[in-house]
Amino acid sequence: MSAVDQLFARLRGENQKALMPFFTAGDPDIETTAEVIRAAEAAGANLCEVGVPYSDPIADGPVIQASYQRALDQGFRLQQVLDLGSSLLNEVSMPLVTMVSYAIIYRIGLQAYVDRAKAAGYAGAIVPDLLVEEAEPLAKICQQSDFSLIQLVTPTTPRERQVQIAESSSGFLYYVSVTGITGERSELPPDLVDNVGWLREQTELPICIGFGISGPETAAQLAPVADGLIVGSAIVRRVAKASDRTSAATAVRDFVRELRQAIDTAAGTGAA
């Protein structure tokens, strides 16, 4: 079992929902990324997604695109993500996973990427541009390494293909709540609950919902039907607006605490 598997087994036993913030590595610098990750865990986050900046956006909205570009303009390199994981090994107990383009993994080498990421303390990778038809080699390596391969299902993914994606995934399934790119929304699709309910009958993997979660209100709407909630743009925007490292950590801590309370209340689990 990977650390992601262990996390969800524990949360299920405690009737808890996972809260998973997303941060862009190196925006505005890698030291700030480490600080806000620590702040997020202190406020109740269960797992953290670390975005690896990439020059060709996949499904990223303007907030995350801009954060990637800022990091790249600062000279970001993949080694910084690995060093970040290593530096947090003894400071953060929640699992960390990378959000990384398959192009980066492929260029480094599938086995090499998994080995390097796991050695740095990462428990898995979300690979948004990995086609299910090409997933088997990486899925096998990840399975052998107890390293979660997390893939995305969208509202427009045909149901037969959703099942295929689930079969080649591990850790959890990332369910994209809306069509289009990442970003904060005030309303979510009316058929979201039914779609997630159908998918839950097809797989034993936890199903975590991302895209469009703008704050406590939308988090509360989704908490009862999801195993976990992923919050990206709303957090990245707060880091970008902060004047310094301390204020970034404070903003993240306060927002994650609000999300945690809303999720627990909506799911009927009480305080975290």
The SS3 assignment for 48 reads strand
Element (H, E) at 140: helix 136-144
- 271 CB-contact burial (10 Å; exposed 0-12 / middle 13-18 / buried 19+): exposed
The DSSP secondary-structure symbol of 18 reads E
- The residues, any chain, with a CB within 8 Å of residue 261's CB and separated by 6 or more, are 216, 271, 272
Catalytic pick among 27, 41, 49, 264 = 49
In the residue annotation, 264 being an active-site residue is answered as: no
Structure tokens at 221: 């709407």
Type of residue numbered 272: A
> Which pairing describes strands 207-210 and 228-231: parallel, antiparallel, or unpaired?
parallel
Catalytic pick among 60, 73, 167, 227 = 60
In the residue annotation, 73 being an active-site residue is answered as: no
How far is Cα 109 from Cα 149, in angstroms, rounded to an integer? 15
Structure tokens at 126: 């979300």
- Residues classed as catalytic: 49, 60
